[in-house]
Every structure is written in structure tokens, then in C-alpha cells.
Structure 1
Amino acid sequence: MGLVLIGTGLGLFFAKINNKAIFDAVVRWWPLVFVLLGLEVLVLSFWGKDNNSLVKYDIFSIFIILLIVFCGLGFYSLEGIGVTAKINDYLTSHEYRIRTSTSEIAVEPEVERLVISAPFCGLKIQTSETNKISSYSYALARADSQEAAKNLADKGTELMSNTSGNTQFISFQLPAIENVQTTEYTIIIPQNIDVELHNGDSVQIYTYELDNDWKIASSGDLQIFIPRQADLTIRALVDESNTLGGSVTWEGTETTEETDDSSNNAKKVVQVELGNETQSMDIALDSGSSILVNQL
């Protein structure tokens, strides 16, 4: 056993100097410890017949041997269910912040409304003059190289689309791959199609031209950036726990309704009127969330 300890120490020292992975070698060859321990016990037991032997085994020694055996069996069980492999992957990998590849979906000419089911992560929506939908995301991926991390992130990111009549439904597939966590999605949509948005987290909306109407059901914080010359009416259903802000002026109305939750906060409608009020944006906000509207 002394030789095993010396050999292990030298191996770790050599691996440290030469930047070698000693973990695989230890996992592969550790059962030899039992062989050497067993040989040592047999040899010392044989020599121990002589009363002058310097090494003797007592009850404590037997307990230590049994403890080592059970620890070895436990380690073997962990190796069998893949725990040691996961530890090895964690020790030899790094976490990268990856921008995934851009995916595109065509928008048919008959589509008049987009229904977007937002993911439970940050979402940024931009409008443009294009007639297609583009998206990409940022993800944290753990891998042994940046290229491998990007491949993992790309595999786990997908934009789902389904068209029914004049409505196109858009949803996001979050990565089901281990070691990949999406932190933010960006989607670019046509500016002349009405939008209905259901979101589960914070959303940022950038509208450079307003040629469409919006309906937003938000359970997270909402930031909206609109052009300074916008002709728009924003109506939001809020309660006292919501925060309103931005560079616009919010005006309250007398319309109220009682909520069904335990907070008993009365809902009220607040609005912003800009320009000729040609377009509309209707917002239903959950308690505790905030709306910020800024003119660019």
C-alpha cells in the first residue's frame, strides 16, 4: 500500500506538470488497490506466524480494510451510474456564452396576425420591413471547446411555426440538452402584421415603424421602445403593485374592476396617447410587473 501511495503521488505530480488528465487513469485502474491490499494482508498474515513480526493485524485493522472495501464498492456503483463521468466532464469543460445561428421562417402573404408564445427567459422583439421571421438566441453552454458549445446550443434551439387561416403561431423550443441554458431570445418580425404576445418572462419590444396593432399579456417586466413620431394609443390594465414609467405620460381612467386573487387590488386602465392614435397596443399586466415605454 505504501508503494501505491508513492506511485499515486508521483502520478499526480507528473500530471500537474505536464497538464495531463489523471482522472481517467485513476478511474480505470483503481481496482488494483484491492489486489495490492489483499496481497499485503496475505503476505503479512503469513509472516505474522512468527511472533517476532513487526506488523500485526488487530480488530481496528480489519475494520479499516472493510471500510476501504465498502468505499470501493460505493465508488464502483457511482462509476456504473455515470456519476464519475459527469464529474470528469465538469472538471475538463468550460462554460461559454454562445450566440446561436440565425433561423428563418417565411410568412405567407395571407397572414394578418402573429401569435407569439414567448419562452420563460428574456425575449427581445424587433420589427423590420422584411416579410419573414428571424430568430437567434444567447445560451450558456458547458463543453470542452467553444465549437462544441456552439454545436450543443444550436441543437437545442428551434423556432416552431404553425399557420391556421390568416394567423401564424410562433413558439420557442427551449434546449432539452444537458449543459445548455438559454438566457435570451431575439426575434425579428414584419412590422405590418398585427401581433398577439403571451410571455412568461421579461420582454423588450423595439418598433422602428408602427404599422400594426399589439395585444400583450405579460407576466414579467415589459420594456417598449417606439419611434418619436408614432401614432399610437397604449392601454394597460394594471393595479397598485405595477410600476409605470418611461419617457411618456401615463393617464388613468375611471374604469376599474376587482381581481379574483387574494391581493384584492382593484384593476384600472391607464393609457398613453401619441399622435393621431392610428395604431393600438393593449396590455394586460400581472401584479408586481412593470411597464416602461420610451420614445426613440
Structure 2
Amino acid sequence: MRTWRVGTISMGGALVGLGVVLLVSQFMHMDLTPILLSWWPLVFIILGAEILFFVFFSRKESSFVKYDFLSIVFVGVLGMMGIVCILLTSSGLMDEVRAAVKSEEKTVDLPGFNEKAGKGIQRVVLDSGSYPLTIESGSEESVSIFGTYDERGMENAKPLLKQTEDYLLVKRNGDTLYISFKDLPITNRLLDTGRMNLEATLVIPADLALEIDGKSTDLVLKPRKLLNDWKVKDSGNLSVFLQENSDIEIEARGVDEIEGPKDGWKFNEGKRVQMSETDPAKKNGIFKLGNGDHSLTVMDSFNVTVHYP
């Protein structure tokens, strides 16, 4: 009596087909994903045809049909993998996996901003947004912004920020120039949050007044030779870098921590304000270089550190 083992041919055909696909993909540098998604249903066709074939011929011959369960399980696993791939593709998760595998992290230059202040502009009001920012005074008459940002994307993909309006809002109203940094897009990816880091430097003419809303972010100020007054409120860690020939008076109001040269700060103990028993008392102090003709006022911030050579 002849014994037919149903499933052996199917498993063999599946292994041969998978091996051919892998071999061709290596030599042709092809993407396996579309090929695997398209060929796996043939496994079920081969298995079904094999069962029908042996059942048909077993009637004509004195034979016994035996199912090779190990081979059938192997074929079933391949089929389930194909179904899972189809479900992942239809839900968009396969594209996320492909993008995560092929993506790269890179540092890209910000689209530059440069606008001549002109005689009509007397002050700049800045919303620093949620990213660290460096602010300097300059001798030019233009307000300029430059920097970099990190993004994760496909190789040779176009930068996400193509123009200034993608990260910056600038509006002129009367004698005031309003500048606001926008929050960059956050993409919820499978393997990372997609949040991008931005580091920018803002240079404004030294003769313009400046008002900064820090949004509790870290700021670096390089006032150099100020010809007007600056004000900062609600910043995180504020670092002020001064030059030897600086002529400035720094006044801190309602600040948690004040650091810098010990002989430079003069604290006003009588004006401390304590919001609750658990919160530390806010500190007030004045740091002065030269005649202090122009001032930098810091209000309601976490930390102020003065760096002086």
C-alpha cells in the first residue's frame, strides 16, 4: 500500500520560492516587502492543490493518505505571517516600520531671517517659544536669525522647514517688531516621538529696546555694548555673558536663584517674596558694570547666572 504525505510538496515549494526570492533580491538589490506581500498566497494554493491531487489519485490506487502536520504547520505559519503583513500594511504600521528602518537623523540649517529694522522700529517684542535661544546685540541695523535643527527623515528627503514662516512669525506694528518662534511639528512615530530640537541665535541692533517672554525656556544673552534697555520675564535658566567694557545694570526681580561673581551682586533682602511655606523666597538683586546707563531687567525667572571675565 502506497502512502501519500500531504504537505511535504507544499513546504518544499514554499522553501524553494522563498529561497529564490531572497537570492534574486540580493543580486538585484530589490525591496523584499512588495514581493513577500504578493507571493505568500501561492503557498495556500499549492497546499490545496496537493490535497485535492492526492485525494483524487487515492481513489484510483490502493494508497493511504497521511498528512504531514509539521509541513502543514510550517505552511500555516508562512500564511499567517503574510496575513499579518497585509494587516500591518493596511493600517499604515508597515510604512512606519519601513520609515523607521530607512530614516536617518541629521542636522539641518534653519531658513535664515534678515530684516532691516529701519528708522521706524524702536523696539522688538520676542516670544522665544519652547526651544533654547541665544540673543545678541549687534552693530548692524538688521534683525537676523540663524541656527540649526535636528530632524529624522528618509535619506535625500527634502528639509521639513523650507521657509522662514515654517518656524517663525514676524509682524510689524507701528514702531514695534513682533517675533514669535513656532513649535515645530511633532510626528508620532512607531520608534520615536518625532520631536525635533532647534538651536537658534537672534541678533538685534544694539540701539533697539527688547522685551522677551521666555516661556520658561533656557536663554543665553550676550548684550555686549547696549544702547537701549532689555527686559526678560518668565525664563528658565538665563545666562548673561558680559564683556570687560560692558556698561550695564542687571536687575533681578522675583528670581529663584542668582549666581555670578560674589562681589558683583547686591541683594535686596527686604523685598523677598515667599509664595508658600514650601517654596523658597524669591530673590532680588542688582549687578552693575560701568555707569549702568542701560539696564537688563529679569523678572519671574528660575535662575540668573552672570558670566564676567
Q: What's the TM-score once normalised by structure 2's chain length?
A: 0.79
Q: 1:244 Cα deviation (Å)?
A: 1.2
Matched, 1:97 2:111: no
Matched, 1:292 2:305: yes
Aligned equivalent of 1:159, options 168, 181, 186: 168
Number of the residue aligned with 2:132: 122
Give me the identity figure in percent: 20
Number of the residue aligned with 2:225: 209
Number of the residue aligned with 1:8: 18
SS in 1 for 2:197: strand
Aligned equivalent of 1:169, options 169, 172, 178: 178
Number of the residue aligned with 1:47: 54
Number of the residue aligned with 2:42: 35
Cα-Cα RMSD: 3.1
Distance of aligned partners of 1:3 and 1:39 in 2 relative to their CA distance in 1, 3 Å threshold: closer
Question: Structure 1, residues 12-53: CA drift from partner, whole Å, max 9, x if none?
Answer: 4554576x2534434xx4243123223313422541574523
- Structure 2 runs not aligned, ≥5 long: 1-10, 188-193
Q: What's the TM-score once normalised by structure 1's chain length?
A: 0.82
Contact 1:213–1:279 (CA under 8 A) maintained in structure 2: yes
Distance of aligned partners of 1:88 and 1:257 in 2 relative to their CA distance in 1, 3 Å threshold: same
Contact 1:256–1:266 (CA under 8 A) maintained in structure 2: no
Number of the residue aligned with 1:278: 293
Distance 1:162 1:212 in 2: 21
Distance 1:16 1:38 in 2: 27
Distance 1:182 1:47 in 2: 64
- Structure 1 runs not aligned, ≥5 long: none
Question: Structure 1, residues 164-211: CA drift from partner, whole Å, max 9, x if none?
Answer: 332221101233274571321211111111111111311111222211
Contact 2:257–2:283 (CA under 8 A) maintained in structure 1: no
Distance 2:245 2:39 in 1: 78
Distance of aligned partners of 1:116 and 1:11 in 2 relative to their CA distance in 1, 3 Å threshold: same
Computing the radius of gyration from Cα coordinates, the structure with the larger value is 2
- How many pairs does the alignment contain? 286
Matched, 1:266 2:275: no
Number of the residue aligned with 1:192: 207
Distance of aligned partners of 1:258 and 1:185 in 2 relative to their CA distance in 1, 3 Å threshold: same
Distance of aligned partners of 1:171 and 1:31 in 2 relative to their CA distance in 1, 3 Å threshold: same
